[in-house]
Amino acid sequence: MLVHPTRNVDAPIRSLREWTAEHGIELVQIPAPYPQRSVAEEGDARDTDLIVSIGGDGTTLAALRAGAGAGRPVLGIGCGSLGALANVTAADLPGALDRFVHGEWRPRLFPALWVERTDGEPVFALNDVALVRESGSQVRLSAYVDGTLFARIAGDGAVVSTPIGTSGYAISAGGPLLLTGIDAYVLTPLPKHGGFAPPLVIGADSELELDGAASFGGVRLEVDGQVAGSGAGAVTVTFRPAMATQVAFDDHEPLLSGLRRRRILIDSPRFLAEDARRGLSCPPGT
C-alpha cells in the first residue's frame, strides 16, 4: 500500500490489514515521492500483485507512477478527495479487494507523456507537465508541433496534459476537458502577455517541443505536480499509451458524472435557479 502523508486514514488501513490477515496475504508499504508515516514493513512494488493507495488523487497518482514502473495495477481508495482517480470509498475497500481476487474487474489504462530534455534524464507524467517561471521574469516559450511553430508565448508558462490530467491544472487555466480513452494530449498556455494562442489538442502521433531558451529568469519543470528541474532549455513531449493500470469496476460512475457530483462541472445559473424553483435537491445527471 501507499498512504496519504497527513490525512486521517486509520480506518481504511485497519480494514486493509484485517482483510489481508484473513486471507493470508502479506501487506507491505512501498516508497513514495513524499514522506509517509510508516504503517507496514517496506516492500518493493515489483514484488506485489496489487498496489492499494489510501488517500486522495495525489496518493493515487503516486501509486500509479509506482505501478507503471513495476507493471502492477492500482486500486485507489478515496478518503474525502474531490478528484477522479481515487474511485473506491473506504467502506467499499473489502468488497473491492474480493472482486479483484475473483477477477471481477477491468483494467483502466492511463497514457503518459514522455518528456525528453536537454539538461536531464527523460521523465514521464501521467497527469501533466508544466513549464512555469522560476523568478519574477516572464517565461518565454516557443511551441512547435512536429517541427512547425504553433506560437511564441510570454507569460506564466504552459501546461501539457494527458486526458485524465485535463480535469485538473488544464481546465483551471481555461483548457479543454478530454474524456479518457481519447488518444490525444493538450497544450494549455498559462496567463500570458498579449498575443493569441488558444489551448491546442495534439494527436497521439505528434511531437511537441517547448523551447524556453529565450527565458531570462529561468524555467521550472514540474512533472505531476513535483519539481523535476530548472533551466532555460527545451523539452520534447510525446504520447505513450497504456503506461499505467488502475483497477476499475463496471458499476463505477463515469468521469463526467463524478465531476458533476463533485461540482467541478457546474450548470449555468439559469438552470440552477429553475431547479431551485422546482424543488430539486440535485440537478439532473448527478
Domains and CATH numbers, the chain: 2-105+249-269 (3.40.50.10330), 112-242 (2.60.200.30)
User: What pLDDT does residue 253 have?
Assistant: 83
Residue 52's Cβ-side half-sphere holds a number of Cα atoms within 13 Å equal to 26
CA–CA gap between residue 96 and residue 76 (Å, rounded):
10
Would you list the DSSP string of 197-266? ---EEEETT--EEEE-TT-SS-EEEEETTEEEEEES-EEEEEEEEEEEEEEE-TTSPPHHHHHHHTTSS-
The count of residues in the chain is 286
**Which pLDDT belongs to residue 283?**
59
Q: What is the pLDDT of residue 23?
A: 97
Note the helical H segments in the chain.
10-22, 57-70, 93-101, 169-172, 255-261, 269-277
Per-residue model confidence (pLDDT) at position 263:
85
**Mind telling me the catalytic residues?**
57
pLDDT for position 82:
60
Positions of the chain with pLDDT under 50: none
pLDDT of residue 258: 84
* Grid cell for residue 35: 514522506
d(CA 136, CA 83): 31
Q: Can you read off the three cell numbers belonging to residue 232?
A: 532555460
pTM, to two decimals:
0.90
CA–CA dist 152, 142 (Å, integer): 4
